[in-house]
Amino acid sequence: MNRSSRNRRLTATALTALAVTVTATACSSGSTDSKDAGSGTYTIWDPYPQFDQSSAWVKLLDQCGTKAGVKVKRTGFDTSDLGNKTLLAAQQGNSPDVLIVDNPVVSTLAEAGVLTTTDDNKLDTSKVDLNLLAAGQSGGKTYGTPIGANTLALYYNTDVLKEAGVDIASVKDWTSLTAALAKVKKVGKKGITFSAIGTEEGSFQFLPWFWGAGAKLTALDSAQAVSALSLWKGWLKQGYAPNSVLNNTQTTSWQEFATGDYAFSENGTWQLANAKKAGFDYGVLPIPGATGGNAAAPTGGEFVTIPVQKDTARYATSQKVATCLTSTANLYTTDTTLSYVAPTGEVQDKQTAANAELKPWVAAVKAAKGRTSDDLGTKYPKISEQMWKAVQSALSGSTSPKDALSAAQAAAK
């Protein structure tokens, strides 16, 4: 859409994508017209309800507000609620001044006319890794800046691999990974666990293999896509992966790995603290592509955005607050708190210097890709739903990978 962000209206597509339910419990952001936009109270909404007023995160918000010359009123929402509440507030002309939102939701809010572009709000994104910034782009415009990123990689149990005679350095592609799983099974251990549940989590976990095969989300039935689903199907058939993956969330999948019986687990940076408590030696390997190299895994993490306001003079102060939150000086502490890899090379280097365990995660993030990249925007949720349905159908034995993905492509059009 090429219209000014000030004039765009909420679209039916966006409302449907976030399943908005308009109720009488609308939240007031307090961002009404102001006689002096450089003072007063500015509202911030974020998806971190776990952090209370005494947390380092909320203290940073207050500090950034003080630096900009304003007071900050912050509200934390569950991620699943935040998008809906943001759309509702926009309908009522009552948006927060600064919004921190899960990256796949950015394009939906942008298409709905809820967010200003970086051309409008003057946020500087020049230092951000381009593959991470792409998750916040739609129609050739950028709608915010990432505060940090997480993604998926393979955790591995050093003891299990040693018992099976597997050198982790030999695992470079799908063939060598499958050979490693065969050796693990031969010594009576379990191979790999992941989440293939029929939700967005299932699509999230399948995407590294899908993209690692060279497949594109606009062609779910390509030969590359079929090879990726056939890989997972083959692992179940050979007993290298458990049937429980069909119902596993990323949490229950991790719990399986934490038993110490599995060689590999596909999971994210958010499990690092649990990995250290597991009681066995572990390592992390970026997910390999079909023929080698690091597969693109989907990016998780949030964007700092500036919603459209009636009083456009407020943007200058909102930009100061957002710039403070994503500054080099603050990103290191923030991303450590959130277990994120920073979105800039400068801070990534600082993270790996302080914690060498983050090196494979930085490599994975550098190869990562936004789920709504390639200008998919609000098309992604429908594509993703058909993807996880195809995965479920093939792994359960209902249909072949080829037929499941052919049906998915037909339904996604």
pLDDT tens digits for 241-262? Answer: 999 999 999 999 999 999 999 9
Average pLDDT rounded to a whole number, residues 208-234: 98
Give the tens place of pLDDT for each residue, 138-163: 889 999 999 999 999 999 999 999 99
Residue 57 tokens, joined: 């995160």
- CATH class of the region 12-149+299-366: alpha beta
Whether the per-residue pLDDT at 407 is higher than 50: the answer is yes
Cα–Cα distance list, 313 to 9, 32, 154, 169, 317 (Å): 20, 11, 47, 56, 8
pLDDT at position 336 is 86
pLDDT at position 19 is 40
pLDDT at position 370 is 93
Query: Distance between CA 163 and CA 281 in Å, rounded?
Result: 13
Whether the per-residue pLDDT at 11 is higher than 80: the answer is no
Residue 356, number of CB atoms within 10 A of its CB: 9
CB contact at 8 A, 191 and 184: yes
pLDDT at position 375 is 82
pLDDT at position 26 is 29
Average pLDDT rounded to a whole number, residues 345-349: 96
pLDDT at position 393 is 98
Point out the least confidently predicted range of 18-27, 57-66, 78-87, 315-324.
Answer: 18-27
Residue 281, number of CB atoms within 10 A of its CB: 12
CB contact at 8 A, 209 and 371: no
What is the residue whose two structure tokens read 């597991």? 278
Give the tens place of pLDDT for each residue, 93-106: 999 999 999 999 99
**152-297+376-412 CATH fold:** D-Maltodextrin-Binding Protein; domain 2 (3.40.190)
Whether the per-residue pLDDT at 81 is higher than 50: the answer is yes
Give the tens place of pLDDT for each residue, 168-216: 999 999 999 999 999 999 999 999 999 999 999 999 999 999 999 999 9
Whether the per-residue pLDDT at 339 is higher than 80: the answer is yes
Query: Distance between CA 325 and CA 330 in Å, rounded?
Result: 6
Q: In the 3-class helix/strand/coil scheme, how is the chain assigned residue by residue?
A: CCCCCCCCCCCHHHHHHCCCCCCCCCCCCCCCCCCCCCCCEEEEEECCCCCCCCCHHHHHHHHHHHHHCCEEEEEECCHHHHHHHHHHHHHCCCCCCEEEEEHHHHHHHHHCCCECCHHHHCCCCCCECHHHHHHHEECCEECCEECCEECEEEEEEHHHHHHHCCCHHHCCCHHHHHHHHHHHHHCCCEEEECCCCCCHHHHHHHHHHHHHCCCCCCCCCCHHHHHHHHHHHHHHHHCCCCHHHHCCCHHHHHHHHCCCCEEEEEEEHHHHHHHHCCCCCEEEECCECCCCCECCCECECEEEECECCCCHHHHHHHHHHHHHHCCHHHHHHHHHHHCCECCEHHHHHHHHHHCHHHHHHHHHHHCCECCCCCCCHHHHHHHHHHHHHHHHHHHHCCCCHHHHHHHHHHHHC
For helices 380-396 and 401-412, angle between their N-to-C axes, nearest 10 degrees: 160
pLDDT at position 12 is 39
Residue ranges, comma separated, of all CATH 3.40.190.10 domains in the chain are 12-149+299-366, 152-297+376-412
Cα–Cα distance list, 364 to 103, 244, 295, 358, 391 (Å): 17, 26, 8, 10, 23
Whether the per-residue pLDDT at 4 is higher than 80: the answer is no
Whether the per-residue pLDDT at 66 is higher than 60: the answer is yes
Backbone torsion region of residue 69, taken as left when φ is above 0, otherwise alpha when ψ lies between -120 and 50, otherwise beta:
left
Give the tens place of pLDDT for each residue, 104-130: 999 999 999 999 999 999 999 999 999
Query: Distance between CA 357 and CA 342 in Å, rounded?
Result: 14
pLDDT at position 33 is 45
The average confidence (pLDDT) of the chain is 90
Residue 336 tokens, joined: 């450590």
pLDDT at position 378 is 85
pLDDT at position 36 is 64
Backbone torsion region of residue 256, taken as left when φ is above 0, otherwise alpha when ψ lies between -120 and 50, otherwise beta:
alpha
The better pLDDT of the pair 336, 65 is held by 65
